[in-house]
Amino acid sequence: MYKNVALSLAFSILKNQDLAEDVLQEAFIKVFQKIEHFRSKSKFSTWLYRIVVNTSYNELKKKKKTMDVDDLVHMPDGLIAKEDFLKEETQNKYINIALARMNTDEALSLRLFYLSEMSIKEIKKITGFSTAKVKVCLHRGRSNLNFELKLLLGDELTDLL
Amino acid sequence: MKEEKLKELLSKNTLKTSPGFTDRLILKIAAEKEKTVPTHPVWQFRFVLSALLLIMGTITFLLSNSFEAIFRLLRLETVVSNAPFMMVLFALLLMGINYSVRLHELSKRSKV
């Protein structure tokens, strides 16, 4: 139920699916070990995503020196046909690439806000950012996502979205 | 891009885990479960036991030496009776015994 959203969040930070899956497994094990500490004051999803986000940032710190986003997120070769682009699968693929090319905090904030439908207060709890930072990340994230999509697809296809 | 369109696009945009993900996770959790076998809190028991012995030793010492604390403050001599000390020590002794009996019962239950 939560695993795909949690994977998307981990991917926003780590920009690599295999690494994100490993971190997600580690996070689920932490959840299993610490389930007794869960207080039903907050939602389970908020608690789970907080663990996923913290584990991902810790992993990112460890790997930062060896990781390069351009190595992990490949720009697609060639032009995309309009018919292909209308498929949801293809659109998702390009949105994922665009999000992966963006700043980590912005991509994470966008995913939490739109995908997980979290409020700014909940995003604050999960990420540990201040309210102002969340708002800035969302604002910049929206325009940067648009910019990255235009860079990947061109103006014509971006307008089709 | 409009806010509504962005919301629509991102709300559908999830990554899917690879096929073996759940199986691998179950195996890892099973391995973790084996590691975390519930153990009897022996260290707690030892701590309580040593605290009990210490308290009993102090009580014996106080009883045998008829301990009285004497404070000298501005030429005034104040003698403090050992009764409050003894009361506190007895209370601690009872609490310690109660705790160790509970631990003992718990360990019996976990063995069953």
Instruction: Kindly state whether residues A88 and A159 are assigned to the same domain.
Output: yes
Give the residue from A68, A92, A108 where a domain finishes. A68
> Any idea what the CATH number is for the domain that residue A13 is in?
1.10.1740.10
Residue A79: phi and psi, rounded to 5, are: -90, 155
Nearest CA in chain A to B8: A114
Alpha-carbon span A5 to A108, nearest angstrom: 11
Q: Convert the pLDDT of each residue in B65-110 to its tens digit.
A: 666 666 666 667 667 677 777 788 888 888 888 887 777 777 665 5
Taking CA B42 as the corner, what is the angle to CA B37 and CA B43, rounded to the nearest 5 degrees? 115
Q: How much is the average pLDDT of A103-114?
A: 91
Q: What is the mean pLDDT of residues B53-70?
A: 74
Among candidate residues A104, A150, A159, A153, the one with its CA nearest the CA of residue A127: A104
Which band of pLDDT confidence, cut at 50, 70 and 90, is reported for residue A157?
A: low
Tell me, yes or no, if A35 comes closer than 8 A to chain B by beta carbon. no
Q: Which domain holds residue A138?
A: 78-161
Angle between helices A3-14 and A88-101 (to 10 degrees): 40
State percent of chain A over pLDDT 90.
34
Listed in sequence order, the residues at least 6 apart from A24 whose beta carbon sits closer than 8 Å to its beta carbon are A3, A6, A7, A10, A52, B17, B21
Check whether residue A84 and residue A160 sit in a common domain.
yes
Alpha-carbon distance of A70 to A47, in angstroms, equals: 31
In whole angstroms, what is the distance from residue A67 CA to residue B23 CA? 28
Instruction: Tell me which DSSP letter residue A111 carries.
Output: I
Q: Which of A8-12, A31-35, B12-16 has the lowest mean pLDDT?
A: B12-16
φ/ψ of residue A115, rounded to 5: -80, -50
Assess whether pLDDT exceeds 90 at residue B56.
no
Q: How far apart are CA B51 and CA A122, in angstroms?
A: 46
The verdict on A90 touching B (C-beta cutoff 8 Å) is: no
- Residue B40 predicted with pLDDT over 60: no
What's the domain range around B66? 3-111
> What is the reported pLDDT for B87?
80
CB pair distance less than 8 Å for B5 and A29: no
* B9:A95 CB<8 A: yes
Instruction: For chain B, say whether A126 makes contact (Cβ under 8 Å).
Output: no
> Are the Cβ atoms of B10 and A114 closer than 8 angstroms?
yes
* Nearest CB to A17 within list B11, B15, B32: B15
CB contact under 8 A, A145 and B1: yes
Is A57 a residue whose pLDDT tops 70?
yes
pLDDT for A135: 94
Do A57 and A95 lie in one domain? The reply is no
Pairwise CB contact (< 8 Å): B11 & A117: yes
B12, A17: Cβ pair inside 8 Å? no
CB atoms within 10 A of CB A30: 16
Residues pairing with B71 in the sheet = B78
Q: Is the dihedral of CA A58, A61, A66, A72 positive or negative?
A: positive
**Mutation target among B9, B28, B35 for the A interface, most CBs of A within 10 A:** B9
The C-alpha atoms of residue B63 and residue A92 are separated, in whole angstroms, by 81
Of A49, A68, A87, which residue constitutes the final position of a domain?
A68
Same domain (yes/no): A93, A130: yes
B69 sits in which H/E element: strand B69-73
Respond yes or no on whether ipTM tops 0.90. no
Residue A126 lies in a domain: yes
pLDDT band at A100 (very low <50, low <70, confident <90, very high): confident
Give me the pLDDT at residue B112, please. Answer: 45
> In total, how many domains does chain B have?
1
Q: Do residue A57 and residue A108 come from a single domain?
A: no
Higher-pLDDT residue of A47, A85: A47
Residue A4 placed within a domain = yes
Distance between B70 CA and the closest CA of chain A, angstroms: 49
- Asked if the structure places residue A73 within a domain, the reply is no
B44/A101: higher pLDDT: A101
Q: How many domains does chain A have?
A: 2
| Most confident by average pLDDT, A78-92, A94-108, B37-51 | A94-108
Q: Identify whether A111 is part of a domain.
A: yes
A161/A91 same-domain check: yes
Asked whether residue A127 is domain-assigned, the answer is: yes
CATH number at residue A155: 1.10.10.10
Mark yes or no for CB contact A25/B28 under 8 Å: yes
d(CA B6, CA A143): 11
